[in-house]
Amino acid sequence: MQLLFERLGFQLIGRWETEDVLQRAGTSWATLLLELRAGGQTREVDQIEGILNRDRKVATYKFALFRALAEIATQEPRAARWLPVGRVAVPLDRIARRWLKYYWPIMASPRFVPQSQAEGAGNLQQLVAFRAPLQALIQHFSGQGAHGGLTAWHMASSSGRLAASVAALERQALQSIAGAIRSGPVTYAGGALESGRVFEYDGRTKAVLMSAGLWRELSLLGHWIVDAVVVRWAALTERFAHRQGLRSGDVLPLLLARPEPERATVQARTVYLAAGAAHCVWSGRQLTQRSLAVDHVIPFTLWGNNDLWNLVPAHAAVNGHKSDKLPAGALLLERRDPIVESWTLLRDAMPEAFDGHAEHLLGVSPTRGEGWRDALFARLREAVEVTALQRGVERWMPKQ
C-alpha cells in the first residue's frame, strides 16, 4: 500500500501499529500517514530513464547493474537493508552473482560477443575485466548442456556441490565481477544527469547504496525495467559488434538464457518419491509414481526461479491446469500445511541447498527451530501477492 501511494507522489511521514480491537488471533493494524510531495525535483524513475538513455556507455555494465537491482527488488527485497536518512543498501555479492548468470551465456558463446567498445574494436588488451576468470569457470562445464553448461553450474553452485578447485574459480570470477561493478557503474551511473551520480559503495558492509526513492521505483517497476534493459543491452551490443556482424536478434537469446527448470524439478521429484509424498499440494489428490509432477508455486515464466521452496509436489493433471497461473490467496492459506510439509521433506534431504535458496526469499538464513516455516510461508504469500499486483497475472483455484 505504501509503495502504491509513493508511486503517486506521496511521502510517508509516520507509521504506527495497533492491536486488533476485536482481539482476533494473528490480526493487527498498521496506520500510515502520508503527504503529497511538492513538484520540482527529479523523480527517481526519470533518473533511471536518464541513465539508460543518456549516460555514456563504453560497456554494457550499467544495463547489467539495473537489471540485477530490478530483479533483486522484485524477487529478493529482503536482501536490501533500509538505512537512516533515506538510504538503501544492497549486498554487492547478490548483484555479482546475478551478473555471473547474465554474462555466462555471452562468454560461453562460440561466437565472440563484445561487451565493450574496446572489445568491439578488436582491442584484445582491453577485454572486459572479468572475461578471463569467468571463461576459466565456464571451461569446467563445457559439454554439460546448453550455453556452456549454465544449468549444470547453477545446480552445483546453488546446492553447494562444487569441487574445491571449481569453487575457487567461481570465487575468482565473482571477485573480478564485483570489482568491475564497484569501479564501473556504481562510480559513474548518473554522471550525465543534473541530479548527479545515484550510487555509492560502502566498503565496510560491502554494499551498494542508493536513495530509498530509487529502490522503491525498482520495486514497483522492476519487471518493466528488466524488459527495457534487456532490449537496450542487445542494441548496445549490436553497436559494439559492428565489426563482428552481430545483430540484436543474435544477442537476445543469450541475454534471456536462464538455468533450465527440468533438472531442478527432476531433483525435487526424486526427493518426493523417495520420501513417499502421497498427496497433491493443491488438490489433495492421491499421487503415484506416474502422476507425481513438480509445480513451480510462482511460475517459472514469471520469475525464472528454480529454488527448492518454489517446487512442490502436484498431480500431473492439476499441474497442467495451473500452468503459468499464480495460486489464489485463499488457496495458499488453505494449503499451508501441505506446502510446509513438502518444504520439510526437501530440507531434510538437501539442507544446505534448501537453506541457501530460502535465504534468497527471507533475506536471512532459516532458523534451526520451527519458526522458519512460518517466516518462509509468510514471505511466499507476500511474494505471490506482490507479483500478482505488479504483473496482472491470473489467479488460480483447482477444479472441484
| Confidence band for 22, pLDDT divided at 50, 70 and 90 | confident
Residue owning grid cell 489433495: 284
Spatial distance between the Cα atoms of 282 and 276, rounded to a whole number of angstroms:
17
Q: How far is CA 223 from CA 63, 220, 290, in A?
A: 14, 8, 36
Per-residue pLDDT, 55: 80
Sign (positive/negative) of CA torsion 48, 258, 208, 79? positive
Would you put residue 78 in left (φ > 0), alpha (ψ -120 to 50) or beta?
A: alpha
Q: How far is CA 141 from CA 151, 153, 185, in A?
A: 9, 7, 29
User: Is residue 295 within a helix (H) or strand (E), and if so which, with residue range?
Assistant: strand 292-296
Lowest mean pLDDT among 75-84, 153-162, 164-173, 194-203: 194-203
Q: What average pLDDT does the segment 348-358 reach?
A: 94
User: Is residue 164 within a helix (H) or strand (E), and if so which, with residue range?
Assistant: helix 164-183
- Per the CB < 8 A criterion, the answer to whether 86 and 209 are in contact is no
Rounded to 5 degrees, φ, ψ at 200 are -135, 165
Distance of CA 121 to the CA centre of its chain: 33
Query: Does the pLDDT at position 105 exceed 80?
Result: yes
Q: What average pLDDT does the segment 74-94 reach?
A: 94
Spatial distance between the Cα atoms of 338 and 333, rounded to a whole number of angstroms:
10
Share of the chain above pLDDT 70, in %: 95
Domain ranges of the chain: 2-36, 44-256, 261-396
Q: Is 10 exposed, middle or buried (0-12, 13-18, 19+ CB in 10 A)?
A: middle
Query: Does the pLDDT at position 40 exceed 80?
Result: no
Spatial distance between the Cα atoms of 321 and 325, rounded to a whole number of angstroms:
9
Which among 228, 226, 132, 119 has a CA at the least distance from the CA of 173? 132
Would you put residue 160 in left (φ > 0), alpha (ψ -120 to 50) or beta?
A: left
Please write the tens of the pLDDT for every residue from 190-218. 876 777 789 999 999 999 999 999 999 99
Spatial distance between the Cα atoms of 224 and 228, rounded to a whole number of angstroms:
6
58 DSSP 8-state letter: S
Q: What is the residue-wise DSSP string for 75-105? A: H-GGGSEEETTTEEEEEHHHHHHHHHHHHHH
Per-residue pLDDT, 359: 93
Residue owning grid cell 563484445: 114
Query: Does the pLDDT at position 51 exceed 90?
Result: no
Angle at 353 between CA 320 and CA 333, to 5 degrees: 50
* Rounded CA Rg of the chain: 22
Is this model's pTM higher than 0.75 or not?
Answer: yes
336-354 burial, b for 16+ CB within 10 Å, e for fewer?
eebbbbbbebbbebbeebb
